[in-house]
Structure 1
Amino acid sequence: MNLFRNNIFNLIETNIVGRKTNGQTIYSYSNVNKAFTQGIEIQGSWNPIKKLSIKGGYQLLYAKDLEAIEKFKSGTVYARDRITKQSFELKPNHYFGLYGRSRHQFNLNVNYFMNQNKDNINFRINYRGKYALVDSNNNSYLDRYDDFINRHIITNISYNKFVTKNIGIQIFIKNILGYKDVDNLLNIPGRIYSFKLKFNK
């Protein structure tokens, strides 16, 4: 287990400000004078039998702009109700943090070796908690009333087989559950199948 705290000065943040008609993302850059990241990292492994390896990890992360915290404490940050269009004051606990950071992340990797040739089946799970990439309510801060990318799980499985000493094949299925978010995650188009033929000298 690892407890960490990092104080960061002059952090350059990448922010999404829009998309072109062809789907290409438009970015802008902003400077965060003082920020911090802190949390817990836990990693572990287990080999219940000789051929089976199980590894996992979890991270709890708080990543925040110190100046934003003071703004929320001063009562000068507002949001607008989407139904009534009325503005209301945001409290310090409404501030979520820096863009693109999930509070919770988890991964699990299971690897089973089938024989002495190291033919194996690998199964991986990656969980990512909710996070946001843009300030959707236009108050310059990421708060609980912004639009977030939903928490999601990506699962992958691969089969690796050595046909000869120098030739191997890999069959790979990425994103088995077929998770998609076409509005926010263009790099996750859905379930992907692939086949590779590998040559080793």
Structure 2
Amino acid sequence: MATDFPLPDNLPVPGDDGAVDHLEGTTIPDVPLAATDGSTIDLRACPPRTVVYVYPLTGRPGTDNIPEGWEEIPGARGCTPESCGFRDHYAELRDAGAGEVYGLSTQSTAYQREARDRLDLPFELLSDADWDLADALDLPRFHIEGDDYLHRLTMVVTDGRIDDVFYPIFPPDEHAGEVLEWLRETRNEDR
């Protein structure tokens, strides 16, 4: 359960800075993405209402790979609890009309594969390690300790177009439930 990775009560809450206002209705660019199962995913060809949650960085237990000051950045902390939330709600998301669910970050496929296996995720994680999709869509990012990371957001993709965008996301451990509710509410709408 996502509660296996509780978040501190004092995390800073991200605000809506308008950084994704341009995304809704945008056509997904021709950018193949490496998936943790070894396949290549073309988001333009995914089933209707595919959920793609974008996250900055998944840490690894027993390593010191999280940049200093990470918890002070609004919206940075919570990638593992968010992924676990999508794992825990996966069957419900699919039943509510999600064509598929993917996580996406700029981490390498090998790095993501470890997280997928350790967290027992029933869906694949996608790597945009070269920032091709992020740059083409002008996805929001932040900078810390000399590196860039994507801000947390979720896109719902249908017929190669972004139908809806969730941003900012807080708290991340409850976000999958928010997407599930949206899918249920909009299930019968013409999209």
Which range, TM-score by smaller chain? under 0.3
- TM superposition score normalised by structure 1: 0.20
Which has the greater radius of gyration? Answer: 1
- Structure having the higher helix fraction is 2
- Whose relative contact order is higher, 1 or 2, with alpha carbons under 8 Å and at least 6 apart? 2
